[in-house]
Amino acid sequence: MKPKLLIRIAAGCTLFFALGHSIGHSTRREATDARSIEVWRIVREHKFNVFGEMRSIDENYTGMSLNFIFTLLAFTVLLWLLSYRIRRDPVGVKWCILPILLAAFGYAVTSYLYFFMVPAVTSFLAGILLTMAFFQLKEDQS
């Protein structure tokens, strides 16, 4: 596969992750058992000092979750835009995808360790695709 296609498939994986995370984010409080309902109540109500602001664990979790969604969407757009630049600037594209591919592998590890397999596999696949594109993009390619 050509780097352009690899990068676009990786962008699709990243978008899939962003959409799945968005669904998980918006449905995370749909607990049915009494213990989970009580835990959600506590994490919403208990406030603590975060650098001078009184915040709950739920507010902290919500902010970080939303930030992650925005990051995944930004990566999706960046990858798609970079796929258009391969002929004009293969070296620039090569080095621009490197931090995104490292983040994808990091997301794969944390998803596997702390969450579940779907985001882990999706991120790992995006990382593999970007690694393949990275090594196909030559310094002297025109």
Identify whether 34 is part of a domain.
no
Dig out the tokens for 1 from the structure.
Answer: 């596969």
The DSSP call for residue 115 is S
Identify whether 43 is part of a domain.
no
Categorize the per-residue pLDDT at 139 as very low, low, confident or very high, splitting at 50, 70 and 90. Answer: low
| pTM beyond cutoff 0.85 | yes
CA atoms within 13 Å, Cβ hemisphere of 41: 7
pLDDT tens track for 94-103: 999 999 999 9
Identify whether 23 is part of a domain.
yes
Average pLDDT over residues 104-112: 98
pLDDT tens track for 55-86: 999 999 999 999 999 999 999 999 999 999 99
Identify whether 55 is part of a domain.
no
**Number of domains making up the chain:** 1
Domain range holding 101? 3-28+69-136
Is residue 140 over pLDDT 80?
Answer: no
